[in-house]
């Protein structure tokens, strides 16, 4: 597999073919790739909502300035940051590390204290920014993995976050919608697929020291 040709073939799909559904096995692979995303301390302070229900998607589309990708794609993934992260969340995470790696909890106490310390040093706004960044890393995993799998996507932040949160009932879960990945297959009519990539030249992007 040539990763560069896959990344050149992918583009932010504006028009999906609404008749095409991503097969469940491929969708599973995409979700698994997203699950494997790296995150700060490994905390994964976000959830990824898989929205397939047509009525909910119609509502979300209205809250996304009418963008057709929300209803015409095969599925919509909403990356929602866990802005309610707190010391209990960190304790639960430390327990999970302890179980999965078979390490006594006591051996992880300084790791837990370090994470709690850095959380306690942040304002609510700083926490929201930090957890949102982690959600965007997961988005990046999704974008690249979909390209590798031959699945088309559109990353989207053109939507009203509080409206999405209301429609999906996220407030009670301590979550805030941050970014969306519409997933499916391009329409043959989508002219955007023919546009050349606009990217800085290597020498303008990579500054060598
Ligand atoms: C975080 C993010 C948000 C974006 N939001 C939207 C959006 O709301 N609607 C849309 O049509 N494209 C959206 N895009 C797509 C970009 O416009 C597109 O990725 C960029 O122009 C580069 O083109 P390419 O992805 O086709 O190579 C978004 C991209 C990113 C990474």
Looking at the whole model, is its pTM more than 0.95? yes
Å from CA of 108 to ligand 1 middle:
40
Angle between helices 124-149 and 24-35 (to 10 degrees): 140
C-alpha separations of 154 from 50, 78, 148 in Å: 15, 12, 15
Question: Using one digit for the tens of pLDDT, what is the confidence trace for 140-155?
Answer: 999 999 999 999 999 9
> What is the strand order of the sheet 75-82 is part of?
46-51, 75-82, 175-184, 152-156
What is the reported pLDDT for 45? 98
Mutate to test the pocket of ligand 1, among 155, 177, 178, 190 (most ligand atoms within 8 A of CB): 155
Q: Is 142 in the pocket of ligand 1 (CB under 6 A)?
A: no
pLDDT single digits (tens) 121-134: 999 999 999 999 99
SS3 content of the chain, % helix, strand, coil (to 5): 55, 15, 30
Report whether residue 143 contacts ligand 1, using a CB cutoff of 6 Å.
Answer: no
Ordered structural domains, the chain, with CATH: 3-205 (3.40.109.10)
Ligand 1 proximity of 156 Cβ (cutoff 6 Å): yes
Taking residue 158's Cβ as centre, other Cβ atoms within 10 Å add up to: 12
Average pLDDT score over the chain: 98
- Six-digit token string for 150: 């031959």
């Amino acid at each position: 597999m040539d990763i560069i040709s896959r990344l050149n073939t992918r583009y932010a799909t504006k028009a999906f073919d609404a008749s095409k559904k991503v097969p469940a096995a491929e969708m599973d692979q995409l979700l698994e790739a997203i699950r494997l995303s790296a995150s700060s301390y490994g905390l994964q302070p976000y959830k990824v909502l898989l929205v397939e229900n047509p009525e909910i998607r119609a509502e979300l589309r209205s809250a996304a300035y009418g963008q057709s990708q929300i209803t015409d794609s095969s599925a919509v993934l909403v990356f929602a940051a866990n802005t309610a992260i707190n010391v209990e969340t960190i304790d639960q995470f430390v327990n999970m590390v302890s179980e999965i790696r078979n390490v006594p909890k006591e051996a992880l106490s300084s790791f837990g204290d370090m994470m709690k310390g850095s959380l306690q040093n942040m304002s609510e706004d700083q926490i929201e920014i930090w957890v949102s960044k982690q959600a965007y890393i997961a988005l990046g995993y999704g974008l690249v993995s979909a390209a590798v799998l031959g699945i088309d996507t559109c990353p989207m932040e053109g939507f009203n976050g509080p409206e999405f949160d209301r429609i999906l009932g996220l407030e009670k879960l301590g979550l805030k919608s941050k970014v969306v990945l519409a997933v499916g297959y391009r329409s043959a009519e989508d002219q955007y697929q023919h546009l050349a990539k606009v990217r800085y030249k290597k020498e303008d992007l990579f500054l060598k020291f």
